[in-house]
Amino acid sequence: MKAVILAGGSGTRLWPLSTKEAPKQFQNLTSNKSMLEETIDRLDFLKSDDIYISINNEHADLVRKLLGRKILEKNIIIEPAVRDTAPCIGFAATIIANQHPEEVMCVIYADHLIKDKKEFQEKLKIAEQIAIEKNTLNIIEVQAKEPDTNYGYVKLEALDEKRSNTEIYLLNHFVEKPDLESAKKFVESGNYLWNTGMYVWKAKTLLDHYKNLKPEIYSSLMEIAKTIGTKNEKETISKIYPEIEKISIDYAIMEKVDPKEIRIIKANLGWSDIGNWEAIYNELAKYPGENIERGQTRLLDCKGCITYSDNNKVLAAIGLEDIVIIDTKDGILVCKKKDAKRIKEIL
């Protein structure tokens, strides 16, 4: 199996710690390691030669500096332009299929939290087996715990099989980020899972679907494939890639392919995309009302607050409840936890 880590996200909802120059995957949000380093660590059952990182050109040097020898230079896939996940994943599949025609690849995100490493690895291996045997497009999904309108959902069809107590389902359909009332119904039904975007498939199988469903993207990727390993590779990529349609893998492939070609692997990963400061608090707090602090912070009579000080000065707060205070060299954020998701309205 080859793993492709998508590390090109902007992470704007975690400003001011996460910025355009150093987005959240490069920050130490939930431990003393960056989220990208945590992602690498979860893949320790693979050899370094089997791990690829997809990154935009702006952050390529940051990846090299952060990871050093943990990732091979030849496995750093640099996008010359931001074109969303369909071109990005297709580009990675093209490179892998060119080098390893029958190889299975998994696609994971560098900025997602996964607490259960053992479960994560077990589900990847089961998905790999299914990809080899059935040539299906496989997604590792998790139970929707609460009516979150920031996540996409999948509705399950019939149970297809069980492997090592792991339930594998057929897909009914995908649901984009729903309104609150719909999300509540999804959770109550128990028949919907959060869409994590963790994919496992043969690189060749995926490209066959591009050929059928997105022939223009496929044609561009095949032009790039002709030059991989030649002196014209970089020039061709720089010329062709920025002109590829900007579209997500969900819109381009997953929502158009016959649902019978998709398998849903149900997992319990302790997963979150920690897309805002309230989400980080919810993941880190050991009990209701605990204060989460980092840096030089002094809290008096505070409850349920999250405070980050990365500015070499004391951050003090008195008598606050459920408040976010983030102080960095790039700015200061103060808001109620429940309003943390609105940061894009300011930025």
Query: What is the tens place of the pLDDT at every residue in 128-176?
Result: 999 999 999 999 999 998 898 889 999 999 999 999 899 999 999 999 9
Fold of 2-275: Spore Coat Polysaccharide Biosynthesis Protein SpsA; Chain A (3.90.550)
By residue count, the chain amounts to 347
Sequence letter at residue 194 = W
pLDDT at 31: 85
pLDDT in tens, the chain (347 residues): 999 999 988 778 899 999 888 899 998 888 889 999 999 999 999 999 999 999 988 888 888 888 877 888 899 999 999 999 999 999 999 999 998 989 999 999 999 999 999 999 999 999 999 999 999 999 999 999 889 888 999 999 999 999 989 999 999 999 999 999 999 999 999 999 999 999 999 999 999 999 999 999 999 999 999 999 999 999 999 999 999 999 999 999 999 999 999 999 999 999 998 889 999 999 899 999 999 999 999 999 999 999 999 888 999 999 999 999 999 999 999 999 999 989 989 87
Burial of 296 (0-12, 13-18, 19+ CB in 10 A): middle
Q: Tokens standing for 174?
A: 């995908």
pLDDT at 281: 94
pLDDT at 291: 97
Q: For 61-93, give one letter per residue: b (16+ CB within 10 A) or e.
A: ebbeebbeeebeeebbbbbeeebbbbbbbbbbb
- Measured CA to CA in angstroms, residue 195 lies from 20, 64, 211, 344 at distances of 25, 30, 24, 22
pLDDT at 205: 97
Give residue-wise pLDDT tens across range 65-119: 888 778 888 999 999 999 999 999 999 999 999 989 899 999 999 999 999 999 9
Strand partners, 113: 272
H helix runs in the chain, sequence order: 35-42, 60-67, 85-99, 117-134, 180-189, 203-213, 215-227, 233-240, 249, 277-284, 343-346
DSSP annotation of 232: T
- Distance, in Å, from the CA atom of 309 to the CA atom of 302, rounded to the nearest integer, reads 16
The DSSP secondary structure of 167-187, one letter per residue, reads EEEEEEEEE-S--HHHHHHHH
Q: Is the peptide bond before 23 cis (omega within 30 degrees of 0)?
A: no
Please answer whether residues 247 and 84 qualify as being in contact, where contact means their C-beta atoms are separated by less than 8 angstroms.
Answer: yes
Instruction: Please tell me the pTM assigned to this model.
Output: 0.92
The domain limits of the chain are 2-275, 278-346
pLDDT at 269: 95
- Measured CA to CA in angstroms, residue 167 lies from 127, 130, 145, 268 at distances of 11, 12, 18, 11
pLDDT at 274: 86
pLDDT at 248: 95
